[in-house]
Amino acid sequence: MDTPVSDSSRTTPAWSSLIGSMRGCTLGGSRILKEELRQKITIPQYLRLAMRDAIQSKDVAAGNHHYASAGEAAQPPDLALVVFINSLSGGRHGPKLKARVQELMGKEQVFDLRFVKPHEFLHYGLGCLEMLADIGDSCAKETHEKLRVVVAGGDGTVGWVLGSLGELHKQGREPVLPTAIIPLGTGNDLSRSFGWVFFFCPVLLSGALFSCRGGSFPFNWKSAVKRTLDRASTGSICCLDSWNVLISMPAGKVVDPPHALKPVEDISLDQELKIEGELPEKVSCYEGVFYNYFSIGMDAQIAYGFHHLRNEKPYLAQVPFANKLIYFGYGCKQGWFFTPCISAPSLRGLKNILRMYVKKVNCSEWEQVSLPSSVKSIVALNLNNYASGRNPWDNLKPEYLENFSLKQGWHALFCLTLFLLNTLPKYRMLQQQDLSFRGGEWEEAYLQMDGEPWKQPMNKDYFTFVEIKRVPFQSVMVNGGVFSTPLSNQAP
């Protein structure tokens, strides 16, 4: 894990950081003029129209006629931005935010993820920009080199966009666009790690975001949007590790998988791990990427319940604090607190269905981890923010994965509300991890990546395998600059 604060900033007192974040989110912050910002980040009109036509027609050449009519007079912007907005995230403030952002730049630079998916923009919109640069358009070339992405949404939305941007690495389409964040989700752990939660929102209380109006926006949210876009265009660049999740299961289908989890024809699991029992003749395979955390167990089950409630009754989930109360209610309902009272409490423990193997640093052999019967959830963590800012580790190590577990309800209560994550077992500095689980009394398990949960079907006769390994390249992030994770390497 590489995150965004330089060595000199590690010695800055926390109180000074707090004062700075409050100034940046209130009327006392430096004023940014609307017209100056618009002029700085707005892409020339002919390029905006060319990218729009390419996306709408799904043809990178559809906007060529705009280049022909532009002539040589067009000048690239000082700093170029495109913004992706998830209207369904958090308090569903996306439409209001979209209208505000369109006031500050060309409306063709702002995309609602309900209508334009990240891969569509990269294939057609960015592809159009690249094509124009290849035929000699110097303005298009320079705009591409300066282009950055802003994602307005929760951690799952950010992961979705980062996953699509990761394809640029595989395709050799450099440079990969740096990503900034406007936090609209409930937990916002990924954006918190890069300083964007505190940059955008004025009050932090027990990891929950509040505003003077009770919503997820600060009372002067329009000014906060200006400051966020300005910071997104000028902030320093840093790198972020990510981790591949490979799933091999008996032939079947995952219902409603998250955006970050895709079906694939085949995957290659580590052959050095010796597997007991027979393998099914036919398998279904999935592949995904996570940037902050992956978990299996009761915390994913609670998140799954919340997501379905939010989709069915969105009016109940419009305020972050209310969202956390819903999470608490699902925690009670799903068994965190009532587990000891059920007739067969042992059935709730992951030990009954799960085998966990890890490869530690500088070790080529797999080691099986013995799980206590009390463990109800296992979390593999890449950054030191989990469950709205809880920090299970004092110091994380770059490039490796950390693990911790959650036990009964009283344990989860202290962990998730009082910032205490002194949990067992803990495994530090893992370079690879394998989970295998089989049903029996359980017909499904609950998994999640970066807050996006799904229900994983299980088979009582055959194991389902989940392998986690580090992605060989890093994502590029923009540093929000306030309250970032205190472990970093600045990108060159």
* pLDDT, position 302: 80
In degrees, rounded to 5, the angle at the alpha carbon of residue 304 between the alpha carbons of residues 303 and 306 is 65
The series of mean pLDDT values per 10 residues for the chain, 492 residues long, is 41 35 46 88 94 96 85 82 85 80 93 95 96 92 95 90 92 92 83 76 38 46 87 92 90 88 87 75 92 86 78 66 64 50 52 80 78 80 73 59 58 44 45 61 83 88 87 91 44 40
* pLDDT, position 264: 92
* pLDDT, position 131: 94
61 shares a domain with 176: yes
* pLDDT, position 20: 40
222 shares a domain with 277: no
* pLDDT, position 87: 81
294 shares a domain with 195: no
Give the integer Cα–Cα distance in Å for 201 and 184.
10
Give the integer Cα–Cα distance in Å for 491 and 38.
27
Q: Is residue 280 part of a domain?
A: yes
461 shares a domain with 445: yes
Number of domains in the chain: 2
Across 298-373, where does the E strand assignment appear?
A: 354-360, 367-369
443 shares a domain with 366: yes
* CATH for 286: 2.60.200
* pLDDT, position 115: 94
* pLDDT, position 327: 62
Name, in order, each residue with C-beta under 8 angstroms of 343's C-beta and a sequence gap of 6 or more.
none
Q: Is residue 483 part of a domain?
A: no
Tokens linked to 11: 């010695």
* Amino acid at site 108: E
Give the integer Cα–Cα distance in Å for 241 and 28.
35
Q: Which of 422, 437, 379, 423 is nearest to 403 (CA)?
A: 379
Place of tokens 């894990």: 1
* pLDDT, position 475: 93
Give the integer Cα–Cα distance in Å for 149 and 169.
16
* pLDDT, position 195: 85
Across 307-397, where does the E strand assignment appear?
A: 354-360, 367-369, 377-381
Domain boundaries, position 146? 7-241
Task: Judge whether 120 and 167 are in contact, CB under 8 Å.
Answer: no
Beta-bridge partner residues of 435 = 356, 466
In degrees, rounded to 5, the angle at the alpha carbon of residue 202 between the alpha carbons of residues 240 and 146 is 40
* Residue 403, SS3 per DSSP: strand
Task: Judge whether 1 and 382 are in contact, CB under 8 Å.
Answer: yes
Give the integer Cα–Cα distance in Å for 320 and 200.
14
Beta strands 444-449 and 452-457, pairing class = antiparallel
